[in-house]
Amino acid sequence: MRRVSALAHTSVGKKVLMAVTGFIWFGFLVGHMAGNLKAFTGAEHFDEYAHHLRVFGEPMVPPMGFLWTFRLLVLVAFVGHVILAWQTSRGSHAARQVAYRKQEHLSFSRASGFMRWGGVAILVFVIFHLLHMTTGQLHPDFVEGAAYANLVGGLSSPVVAGLYVLAMVAVSAHLYHGLWSLFQTVGAAHPKYHAARRPLAVAAALVIFFGFISIPVAVLTGVLTF
């Protein structure tokens, strides 16, 4: 912990911690996506999977124990990522109080300019998503435990489904630049691997994008029904 807090004392350390927390989220997204795709195997399977997450490790682990530990880890990573983003962007704003009258966009990565606002969009989406699919307040006919029905029901509105697709655009773009700059940030950048970095980041972002949007698309096109 001392080392982690020491890292958080410098701007570079903050960036490294953001990379680590971001990467945890990348891992989470991969798992989440794999889970989602189980919807294609049928309602029964999907509900069973959702139930299994709650009782994972029983009886060694109390009910919901695994899920909450996992949620906690993801939550800490998420909150940490957001706080660090908030701190660093505030620092950056303070670092240039007078804007240029004219400034050309000099950068080798277009997505980098999108990180902050994209991040804010993702934050809003995550809150919506939790209230929609996990706790149900924003879901018209939410039934606790009926994961498949909730999923298909929740996405049957084209507006909501479109929202999810849009959110995935933001997530993928964020992920693309995040993954790409991860190596730079943790200092693993090396001229030898430069060429591979961008395709890898693009591939990962695309997999996540299509993996996730396949669900709302499938619901809208009737591939997934009650």
Partner 1 sequence: MNFTLHVWRQDGPEVPGGFETYEARDISEHMSFLEMLDLVNEGLTHDGHEPVAFEHDCREGICGSCGMMINGVPHGPKGMVATCQLHMRSFRDGDEIWIEPWRATAFPVLRDLAVDRGALDRIIDAGGYISVRTGSPQDANALLIRKEDADLAMDAAQCIGCGACVAACPNASAMLFTAAKVSHLGLLPQGQPERYTRVLDMVTQHDREGFGNCTNHGACQEACPKGISVDFIARLNRDLVVSTWKTAGD
Q: Which residues here bind partner 1, judged by CB under 8 A?
A: 2-3, 5-7, 9-16, 88, 91-109, 112-113, 115, 177, 180-181, 183-191
Q: How far is the CB of 204 from partner 1 (least distance, A)?
A: 17
Q: How far is the CB of 186 from partner 1 (least distance, A)?
A: 6
Instruction: Establish how many alpha carbons lie within 13 A of residue 83's alpha carbon, considering only the half-sphere containing its beta carbon.
Output: 10
Q: How far is the CB of 37 from partner 1 (least distance, A)?
A: 31
Closest CA to 166 of 217, 201, 115, 204: 217
> Is 204:33 a contact under the CB 8 Å cutoff?
no
Close Cβ partners of 103 (under 8 Å, ≥ 6 residues apart): none
| CB closer to partner 1 out of 108 and 226 | 108
| CB closer to partner 1 out of 166 and 196 | 196
| CB closer to partner 1 out of 25 and 164 | 25
> Is 147:39 a contact under the CB 8 Å cutoff?
no
Instruction: Establish how many alpha carbons lie within 13 A of residue 98's alpha carbon, considering only the half-sphere containing its beta carbon.
Output: 1
Q: How far is the CB of 153 from partner 1 (least distance, A)?
A: 40
Look at the chain and count its residues.
226
Q: How far is the CB of 126 from partner 1 (least distance, A)?
A: 21
Instruction: Establish how many alpha carbons lie within 13 A of residue 8's alpha carbon, considering only the half-sphere containing its beta carbon.
Output: 14
Q: How far is the CB of 16 from partner 1 (least distance, A)?
A: 6
| CB closer to partner 1 out of 151 and 179 | 179
Angstrom distance (rounded) from CA 131 to CA 155:
14
| CB closer to partner 1 out of 97 and 221 | 97
Round to the nearest angstrom and report the end-to-end CA distance of the chain: 48
Tell me the CA distances in angstroms from 24 to 17, 29, 30, 205, one per residue in order.
Answer: 11, 9, 10, 15
| CB closer to partner 1 out of 17 and 77 | 17
What interhelical angle do 158-185 and 11-37 show, nearest 10? Answer: 140
